Amino acid sequence: MRLIAANWKMHKTQRETKEFLESFLKLLGNPADREVLICPPFTSLCVASEILKDSPVKLGAQNCYYERQGAFTGEISLPMLKELGCEYVIIGHSERRNIFLESDELINKKLTACLEEGIRPILCVGEKLEDREAGLTFKVVETQIRLALSGIESYTDSLDIAYEPVWAIGTGVPATPEDAVSVHRFIRELLGKLNPKSEGKTRILYGGSVKPDNAKEFMKYEEIQGFLVGGASLKPESFVQIVNSF
């Protein structure tokens, strides 16, 4: 089942979250053949949890810390997220890597904690423009995946991966479907090497300037098993169009 996830980043107050979700759920209906996920900011998780409780839409968080509790000012633990009904957590987004300098080691610890806690992580990987221009796309993506999954390779069926080329995020210039498909195939082959016993339950999503007018093109390819949507998920009408794009 394909996964269509909304990453709101640092957008929407509790009031705006309530208004969005009430409108979105009316437009959405019951998407029986796809999974829909909303990842609001931490401050909106509580109100989102209440509204989504009896709906077909799942709730996720944009980040977490790997310790269950302790003196970690400003951090949010997985038990806190579970109590709010979060079933997913986005891990290793390029903004976390590049702005907040999260290392592959830290990302690995977060993934491990998610798997232990029973929350499904969405691991984000992707190359910068200079990597792409130097022909290093596959090398960068492979390194990120190998380091992130170090020691937990046998659990690949319990997570999803979002390929988000950094040069396409928020720029309005997405990768072509053919570009994305080639990387998705590479990731699938790599996962098979890392976990030969895999049952293929890892969904590989595309993210990076996904919009209603290009989503349908990406969804023509079976290698693309969903989206991680940023800016276009902030309006209920545009996000519904993306959810219904196949």
SS3 content of the chain, % helix, strand, coil (to 5): 45, 15, 40
Q: 239 and 31 in contact (C-beta within 8 Å)?
A: no
| Catalytic (active site) residue 184 | no
Catalytic-role residue among 93, 95, 102, 184: 93
The beta strand positions in 131-213, using DSSP E, are 160-163, 204-206
User: CA torsion sign, 233 to 239 to 244 to 245?
Assistant: negative
User: CA torsion sign, 166 to 169 to 172 to 178?
Assistant: positive
Catalytic-role residue among 35, 102, 164, 184: 164
Q: What is the DSSP letter of 119?
A: P
Whole-number Å distance between alpha carbons of 167 and 65:
27
DSSP β-bridge partners for residue 30: none
Whole-number Å distance between alpha carbons of 42 and 228:
18
Q: Which long-range contacts (CB under 8 A, 24 or more apart) does 74-83 make?
A: 76/42, 78/113, 78/114, 78/117, 78/119, 79/117, 81/45, 81/119, 82/117, 82/118, 82/119
| Catalytic (active site) residue 93 | yes
CA angle 179, 182, 187 (to 5 degrees): 125
User: Which residues are identified as catalytic?
Assistant: 93, 164
